[in-house]
Structure 1
Amino acid sequence: MEIGNLLYDYLLKTGLSENTAKYLNMLVLLAFTIIAAFLVHYIIRRILLSFFTNLSSKTKTNFDDLLIKNKAPKNIAHIIPLIFTLNLIPVIFKDFPYFENFVLKSFLVFTIILVIWIVRSLLNSIRDFLKTIPNLGDKPIDSYIQVFMIFAWAIGILSAFAIITGIEFIKFITTIGAASAVIILIFKDTILGFVASIQVSINDMVRIGDWITFEKYGADGDVTEINLSTVKVQNFDMTITTIPTYALIADSFKNWRGMQSSGGRRIKRSVNIKLDSIHYVTNDELDSFKKIQSITTYLENRQEDIDAYNTKNNINKELLLNGRNMTNIGVFRKYIETYIENHSGTNKEMMIMVRQLAPDTQGIPLEIYAFSSDKRWQNYEYIMADIFDHVIAAVPYFNLEIFELPSNSSFVQRNEEGTITDKIDLEDE
């Protein structure tokens, strides 16, 4: 207090009035405090940054680098200048109680904000550090950090209001208890997101990097971020879809992680064979089919079994319908299965099946069910297309036809030059 009066006493001796001397004394002390606080802050900041920089170069962990990145030393450097200023406020405004009360409350509120900044810097550094750990990189760490920050901001705001109003913190909390319903309504999505984040984490429903399909929200891509309120999905067309976190437990979605962690990606597609192209295999056709190397041995063994059965049971083979016979679609089905089993792009340790589905108005679907050994989207599509290119091209070799709806070109006749010579009238037909 005596130091603060030195300038005041000197000003009185120069002949200034007491009121003028008080204001000049206050302004000079305030200017001195501001300059001193900036100098202290600059020195402390340089020391902390130098310390953390040297520390990060000597340690193997990158946690200290993350502290610098998230401005933790910069925020911590405010502490000593703030304490220095708080101690001088009573000296500066000793003759101005109203100003002292206002400035002191302002600095106390700033102290609360500074503490929150420091906590946020530390939590963000911990978050970034945990994401570098392989076992934790795909966990919704952002959600937990946000929960801590929400509680920190809530306590900070309530403490600031308590300081401004002059009410004790506990009494202030009790006073706003009646408004809890409104608070819950305001933070409804946050509360739902918090609960959903816990359930998603515990049940391991979604991880960062998972490929998910969420038709309700138009999402089909990789999860890039999971936080308290939203889940961000980068779709394969490079757009971003934002999904409420609680929607992951409220609605149904598809997670492709099981496929990605398995030995292959499923191929499940069919071609429709025209029903009127299916028939029993004649001897001439059988000889032709035996030229297909991949099924030559199968056809020879199969025909021996059929002939032995028919001979043993005295089957009259003047009519193909009698006894046991092979069909062209059955031979084709065996050929496809053999082709897929020998294809370089399929996983031989997973199921390989070629089956018939129920006939419908578009023929009889012949479905291929297998798994590609390469799960990458582009390579998977290439393998599947390569298989069906071959299958579609092989159909005529078995005297079969693929069903397709007729187009306009199906009802015209062309000459050798490709010019339309006649149109077929379906009504006349």
Structure 2
Amino acid sequence: MNLEEGLVDLICFFEEFFIAHGMNAVFAQYLNLLINLVVLTLIVLGINYLIKHFIIETFKLFTNKTKTTFDDFLIKSNFPRYVGRFIPLLVIYKIFPLIFAEFSQVLDIFYKLVDIYIIILIVWICRSMLRSTRNYLKTREEFNDKPLESFSQIIMIFIWIIGLMFIFSELTDKSVVGFAISLGAASAVILLIFKDTILGLVASIQVSVNDIVRIGDWITFETYGADGTVTEINLATVRVQNWDNTYTTIPTYSLISDSFQNWRGMQESPGRRIKRSVMIKQNSVKFLTHEDLEKFKKIKLIAPYLENRQAEIDKFNESNNVDKTLLINGRNQTNLGVFRKYADSYLREHSAVHKEMYLIVRHLAPTPNGIPLEILCFSKDKRWENYEYISADIFDHLIAAIPYFDLKLFEAPSGDDLRDFLANRSES
């Protein structure tokens, strides 16, 4: 007698026993069925208990002895538990048909339910593996800036789609290909219902493939009021921690449909740009006289420049017989030009300014608020607080130096200015 015949005898034991003691055959059959189901349930619960307290604990003990951390993440994602569920499922799959051998309709439903559960269990195992892989890669430095959350969600969506297709095939007795064809026919409705999900899926792929945004990038997205560091990229949203420690959630699709500023290029470059202007009053600009030149030659940074430049100008004027009784004739230096040279020399001497990147001092087109004198250079230190300190230090000095060149900064009149003007006018 083989094992299967032995199981059949055990399953029919109570039915034969009850019939032998005078019980109705139909009632004895159903009572035997109930007892067998209770016994099967107890067996499955016992196997589950053993799996939980023996197999899983053994797996934990094994992972504690290994040097890699990937198996630790497998435990956290319940991978051993999901795999262990195949053992009681196998027991049910073998014994249940023997119990319900005389109930063919029940067996048809049973086989469908078991197949569906196996599909769902495989999806759960894939999800556990995916989560473990994602969490493990997050511990690796080379993957810190990659949108692993988005990748895992995209893969998980495809796994669920495949799983649902097989479940549909089991329920309807149609092939997976037929289900795919029916999906194609209903594609317009599907696109409408899952529009946001599909847009997020496409955006996540484009963001990753084109390397538009990485985790850790500093971005500015004025439309959503975001200005800070990207902390998470997933299928639907991008999470940004602003500099005031608040969080802004941006739809992933907005990263490819709208315009935003990514500061990664600045962070990867050797320096961070300083681009600011001071407004010079136009009526303070003048030609320099001999006395002015002698006074400015006392300024150490520009003394050699004034000597060489003025010698060149005097030579030109003499060779062209320029009448210098009128200052405008010939070539001349201006206090604004000299100050521009001073600002350029000051920046080139400044220890915090990057000398191998652009360094320009220029004045832009005059405005009603004066002549913009623009400083464009790069600081060596790109950290925000140090960058602001360097910028402030440069402009503190230049603003304080402007009066030494007989120049004036433009400033809109304040209440005190008007009050002093009226007081002086009344006294006169």
TM-score, normalisation: structure 1: 0.89
The residue that corresponds to 1:301 in the other structure is 308
Q: Which residue of 1 aligns with 2:325?
A: 318
Distance change >3 Å, CA 330–CA 159, structure 1 → 2: same
Q: Aligned runs of 1:24-423 on 2, under 5 Å? A: 24-94=31-101, 96-97=103-104, 99-413=106-420, 423=423
1:376: how far off? Answer: 1.2
Shift of the 355–92 alpha-carbon distance from structure 1 to 2, 3 Å rule, reads same
In structure 2, what is the Cα distance between the partners aligned to 1:288 and 1:31?
108
Q: 1:405/1:320 Cα in 2 relative to 1: closer, same or farther (>3 Å)?
A: same
**Hey, which of these two has a bigger chunk of helix by percent?**
2
Shift of 1:64: 1.3
Q: CA deviation at 1:336?
A: 1.1
Inter-CA distance 355–159: structure 2 relative to 1 (3 Å threshold): same
Q: How far apart in 1 are the matches of 2:12 and 2:316?
A: 124
1-structure distance, mates of 2:267, 2:248: 21
- 2:4 paired residue number: none
Provide the residue aligned with 1:417 in structure 2.
none
Deviation at 1:274, TM superposition (A): 0.4
Residue type matched to 1:345 in 2?
A
Cα deviations by residue, 1:180-200 (Å, 9 ceiling, x for unpaired): 321232233333333333333
Say whether the 8 Å CA contact 1:22–1:95 is kept in structure 2: no
**CA-to-partner distance for each residue in 1:231-266, whole Å, 9 max, x for gaps?**
222222323333333333333332221111111011
Larger CA deviation: 260-269 vs 181-190: 181-190
Cα distance, 1:169 vs. partner?
A: 4.2
Residue identity opposite 1:111 in structure 2: I
Cα distance in 2, alignment partners of residues 187 and 391 from structure 1: 59
Does the 8 Å CA contact 1:411/1:424 hold for their aligned counterparts? no
**Post-superposition offset of 1:359:** 0.3
Q: 1:153 to 1:313 in 2, by over 3 A?
A: same
Match of 1:370, SS? Answer: strand
**Cα 1:178–1:306 shift into 2, 3 Å:** closer
Partners of 2:29 and 2:404 in 1: how far apart?
109
Matches of 1:174 and 1:314 in 2, distance apart? 94
Cα distance, 1:51 vs structure 2: 4.0
Cα gap change, 1:234 to 1:60, in 2 (>3 Å)? same
* Alpha-carbon distance in 2 for matches of 1:162, 1:331: 84
User: What is the CA distance between 1:173 and its match in structure 2?
Assistant: 4.3
For 2:424 and 2:46, how far apart are their aligned partners in 1?
Answer: 97
Tell me by how many angstroms 1:358 deviates: 0.3
Moved more, 158-167 or 396-405: 158-167
Q: 1:6 to 1:381 in 2, by over 3 A?
A: same
Instruction: Provide the C-alpha distance between the structure 1 equivalents of 2:228 and 2:388, rounded to a whole number of angstroms.
Output: 16
Quote the offset at 1:291 in angstroms: 2.4
In the alignment, structure 2 segments of 5+ residues that lack a partner are 1-7
Alpha-carbon offset, residue 374 of structure 1: 0.8
SS at match of 1:412: helix
**In 1, distance between residues paired with 2:268 and 2:178?**
55
CA contact (8 A) 1:105 1:164 kept: yes
Question: CA offset at residue 172 of structure 1?
Answer: 4.4
**How has the CA–CA distance of structure 1 residues 174 and 262 changed in structure 2, closer, same or farther, with 3 Å as cutoff?**
closer
* Aligned-CA RMSD value: 2.7
Secondary structure at the residue paired with 1:233? Answer: strand
Query: Which letter maps to 1:407?
Result: S
Q: In structure 2, what is the Cα distance between the partners aligned to 1:363 and 1:385?
A: 21
SS at match of 1:413: helix
Q: Which amino acid aligns with 1:252?
A: S
Contact kept, 8 Å, 1:220 with 1:235, in 2: the verdict is yes
1:37 Cα deviation from its structure 2 partner = 1.3
**CA distance 1:169–1:330, change in 2 (3 Å):** closer
**What is the TM-score of this pair, normalised by structure 2?**
0.89
Q: Given residue 369 of structure 2, which amino acid in structure 1 is its aligned partner?
A: Q
1:423, distance to aligned residue in structure 2 (A): 4.8
Q: Structure 1 residues 323, 144: closer, same or farther in 2, change over 3 A? A: same
- Secondary structure, counterpart of 2:169 in structure 1: helix
Q: CA offset at residue 218 of structure 1?
A: 2.8
| Pairs aligned (count) | 421
**Greater CA drift, 225-234 or 173-182:** 173-182
- Counterpart for residue 419 of structure 1: none
Q: Distance in 1 between matches of 2:246 and 2:155?
A: 30
Q: Distance between the aligned counterparts of 1:383 and 1:18, measured in 2?
A: 97
Alpha-carbon distance in 2 for matches of 1:364, 1:27 = 97
Distance 2:57 2:403 in 1: 78
The one-letter code of the counterpart of 2:35 is V
1:21-48 Cα offsets, whole Å, 9 max, x none, are 3333223222222222122122223444
Offset at residue 402 of structure 1 (A): 0.8
Read off the aligned partner of 1:389 and give its amino acid letter: D
Quote the offset at 1:297 in angstroms: 2.3
SS across alignment from 2:420: strand
Deviation at 1:110, TM superposition (A): 2.6
Would the alpha carbon gap of residues 197 and 203 (structure 1) be closer, same or farther in structure 2, given more than 3 Å must change? same
